[in-house]
Chains A and B, each alone.
Chain A
Amino acid sequence: MDFDFAVFVNAWATVLSNPWLIVFLFIGVTAGISVGCLPGLTATMGCALLIPFTFGRPPLEGLFMLMGVFAGGIYGGSISSILIRTPGTPAAAATLLDGYPMAQRGQAGKAIGVATVASFVGGTIGALIMTFLSPSIASFGLRFGPAEFFALALFGMSMIIAVSGVSILKGIIAALIGLLVTTIGLDPLSGLPRFTFGSQNLLGGPTFIPVLIGLFGIGQVLRNVEKMEIVHEIQTAVGKILPSLKEMWQVKLTLFKSAVIGTFVGAIPGTGCDIAAFASYVEAKRASKTPEKFGTGHIEGVAASEAGNNACVGGAMIPMLTLGIPGDAVTAVLLGALMVHNYQPGPIFFRENLDIVYPLFAGMILAQSVLLVVGLSFARFFAKLLTFDKRIFTAIIFLLCIIGAYSMQFNSFDVFLALGVGIFAYFLEYYRYPLSPILLAFILGPIAEQNLRRALQISHGDPFTFIDPINHPISLAFVIISILALASMYLRMRKTRLEELKRERDEA
């Protein structure tokens, strides 16, 4: 199935000659950003809510709107990550690592600007890769079986442990606790309830979004309440919105690499933009000459995670369109929308419905430009929010966190869960346990557990299946990189710790 250039040009003509398509793209992106920047409201939810409005319209208009919501929602999540250290969507969780410190330094405007430009660049590259390489990438995604998925999860966990915090041991403990919590609820493989103690609320396991809101949002709110006198004094200028060309040019390689990583991670069914963002961030930090700057408000950190998660939007469309397998929750909704319009995505759909597939590609590319325009015009307004009186702002953020936790399932239990996790996170940070490994454990926990068990089942209990160079080379590669990353980080940390200890002894 080769790329048909003539049809593709034709598709652009169709798209550009229909102003309604552009209008719907604008509506979608704007709605996506609005939904995405509110913690608890995700791009998935935005899509699901807007689908009914697309029923009466021609399929392309509806799909354009949904793609706009998807792209806008993933981008919108970064805004609350930067401003209030609460990822509006899980995909933006990596953005807060550098985005929030930037905002605290009074560079909120620039952080949003960088996020916007990086999203545009990453998203466009992702959409281009999707356009030209869909069929070949789809078969790459298929090579991921249980052993590979477990190795991928292991890789993700060790990477985040390696990049966050000052102690690998504390990072591992945090990750293990996170993993243990994900085993609460019905075991998806055997169907047995675990650690639920008869509670109906725990059957489905602790819901991700309330935990996310608790971990970062409420935890941060509580810290701000405690340190209100100090927080209040931080200078909050809006600053310049547009990053200078030079600044963006310096991170060009990171942008490109992140976009490629994001697209591929997105193309693996069962992963999502959250993992894509972390993978890009970690790679950027690993390759950097100044890795110690990451986590302190480094432009490159924001650029890497935002380029990664927006490229993932294009990547996630690949398995959905070519195999009928949604890459994540949002594409599952898009799949539903296609089906309502009597299309059945899959290998045949991809070959025989080029009249709809290529315009979709064109729309995806166009959506990124719309995102840039809408994002930059919103940025100043969002950044201004920070200049508001902290004592009032913090109270309102607290309310938004609570409502966000509630709105996921309209369940009061989730609100108390978020509050409980929030106070737990407050103490964890005080005792210097990093929070990011817990978050990643939440994302990767089910993937790790289920695929570990599946892989062991397939191999009849042989743990060496993960490092089998013939049958599972991808898995072997992940395992090796994970070990290397942890080992090198351990040595580096040991060195700094020994120096630190020596200094302490000298002082004493």
Chain B
Amino acid sequence: MLKKSLLVSAATVAAISLATSAWAAFPEKDITMIVPWAAGGGTDTLARILVKNAQKHIGVNVNVLNKTGGSGSIGMNEVARARPDGYTVGVLTFDLARYRLSGLAPLSYRDFGLIMLLNQNPGAITVRADSQFQTLKDLIEYGKANPGVLTAGHTGAGGAWHLGLVTVATQAGAKLNYVPFDGAAPARTALLGGHVTIAATGIDEVQEFYKDKKVRILSVNDLKRHPNFPDVPTLAEAGYPLEAPILDWRGLGAPKGVPADRMKVLADGFKKCFEDPEFQEAAKARGLILTWADSAGFEKFLIGMEKTMEGALKAVDLYKPVQ
């Protein structure tokens, strides 16, 4: 009996020492990156091109895993609840700033160890190339004169693009008929098929159709023009200035409680991935605007984001904070 328990404790000691030696050499196995949106989407693309050269920059591979559903809350929840050993990281996206505020889930940036901000993308207001509306002004004026007639496809109530369009239209006094779609791709398809008049999506998500002259982008919802769309006016240039336009954003986070030295390894490694010219070029080609901020900067950005969201959600009657 004694012999047996001795053996067990010896094994335990061995296990612990093994574990500690592992602490010294992080990472020693592949890292999993959870993407809370479907494969093939914008977030998924960003994640996959980011980790393409992970082997070179972090020393191990990063495997992308899509866990979709619940407006991204399922995947992000999974990251927040994962074992904080640094081997699970996840992409955080725009909707994280609204789960708590619109009563969907008690999840916010406070549940994560933030690694970095990656990208911020402006929305766009798009119509078909053969549409009668040449400018945003035409569209808004028509919407004012004929309330509720124009149909606008967006990517989900309370999402970035819905809020973005509602804010512009409501401030100008136009009433549109908002039709929610599953994501940018179906909203875009409905626009092309003539089932809705307007599509509100990320500007990068209509890039190919813009290049092919199938759609006309009336404005980019940002303070400055987008480099890939030099002839698309900003909201202010189109005559409807907004102080703080709603931008979509994506960043990286880990579960709370990952040891500081490992967080540093992750932050440094992913920064190198981010700075890889191959990544920078691939993102640029897809119209993804890269905005880097470190952990502290990311947190500051998210605090501001929650304030913006509070106002925007109140404006469309979706504000219902989780207690």
Contact = CB atoms under 8 A, between A and B. Distances in A.
Nearest to A447: B182
B191 to A, nearest CB: 10
Contacts, number: 127
Given A191-B102, A347-B212, A204 B63 contact: no
A336 B156 contact: no
A323 B189 contact: yes
Contact of B193 (A48, A143, A335, A450): A143
Interface in A16-55: 44, 48, 52, 55
B159 to A, nearest CB: 8
A97 to B, nearest CB: 29
Given A203-B73, A344-B285, A349-B208, A189 B157 contact: yes
B156 A203 contact: no
B211 A348 contact: yes
A342 interface: yes
Interface string A120-159: 0000000000000000000000111110000000000000
23 contacts: A48-B66, A186-B104, A189-B156, A190-B157, A191-B156, A204-B69, A269-B185, A270-B186, A325-B188, A326-B40, A326-B185, A332-B39, A335-B39, A336-B44, A339-B48, A340-B49, A346-B212, A347-B209, A347-B212, A348-B208, A457-B179, A458-B151, A458-B179
A190 B180 contact: yes
A387 interface: no
B221 interface: no
A455 B67 CA distance: 29
Interface string A312-339: 0000000000011110010111111001
Nearest to B69: A204
B211 A409 contact: no
Given A205-B69, A344-B286, A48 B39 contact: yes
B70 A186 contact: yes
Contacts of A55: 52
Nearest to B48: A340
A193 interface: yes
A324 B40 CA distance: 10
A290 interface: no
A136 to B, nearest CB: 15
B104 A336 contact: no
Q: For B44, B77, B185, which residue has the most chain A Cβ atoms within 10 angstroms?
A: B185
B192 interface: yes
Interface string A189-200: 111110000001
A185 interface: yes
B38 interface: yes
Given A186-B73, A332-B38, A457-B151, 17 more contacts: A48-B66, A52-B61, A186-B71, A191-B104, A191-B157, A193-B104, A203-B70, A326-B40, A334-B40, A335-B39, A335-B40, A336-B39, A348-B208, A348-B212, A454-B179, A454-B180, A458-B151
B303 interface: no
Nearest to B148: A460
Contacts of B156: 188-189, 191
Contacts of B148: 460
B247 interface: no
A457 B177 contact: yes
B195 A146 contact: yes
Interface of A: 44, 48, 52, 55, 142-146, 185-186, 188-193, 200, 203-205, 269-270, 323-326, 329, 331-336, 339-340, 342, 344, 346-349, 409, 450, 454, 457-458, 460
- Which 7 residue pairs across A and B have the least CB separation, nearest first? A204-B69, A145-B195, A346-B208, A332-B40, A142-B193, A335-B40, A203-B70
Contacts of A336: 39-40, 44-45, 48
Contacts of A324: 185, 208
Contact of A146 (B67, B68, B74, B190): B190
Interface string B295-323: 00000000000000000000000100000
Nearest to B193: A142
A188 B39 contact: no
A191 B45 CA distance: 24
A142 B192 contact: yes
A454 to B, nearest CB: 5
B158 interface: yes
A325 B189 CA distance: 8
B214 interface: yes
Contact of B105 (A145, A203, A339, A346): A203
Interface in B146-186: 148, 151, 156-159, 177, 179-182, 185-186
B114 interface: no
B88 to A, nearest CB: 12
Contacts of A142: 189, 192-193
Contacts of A144: 193
B254 interface: no
Contact of B70 (A204, A270, A348, A349): A204
B196 interface: yes
B118 to A, nearest CB: 16
Contact of B69 (A185, A344, A460): A185
Q: For B177, B188, B208, B318, which residue has the most chain A Cβ atoms within 10 angstroms?
A: B208
Contacts of A52: 61, 63
A333 B70 contact: no
Given A144-B193, A191-B158, A347 B214 contact: yes
Nearest to A55: B52
A36 to B, nearest CB: 18
B69 A203 contact: yes
B285 A342 contact: yes
Nearest to A207: B69
A52 B73 CA distance: 26
A342 B179 contact: no
Q: For A186, A336, A342, A347, which residue has the most chain B Cβ atoms within 10 angstroms?
A: A336
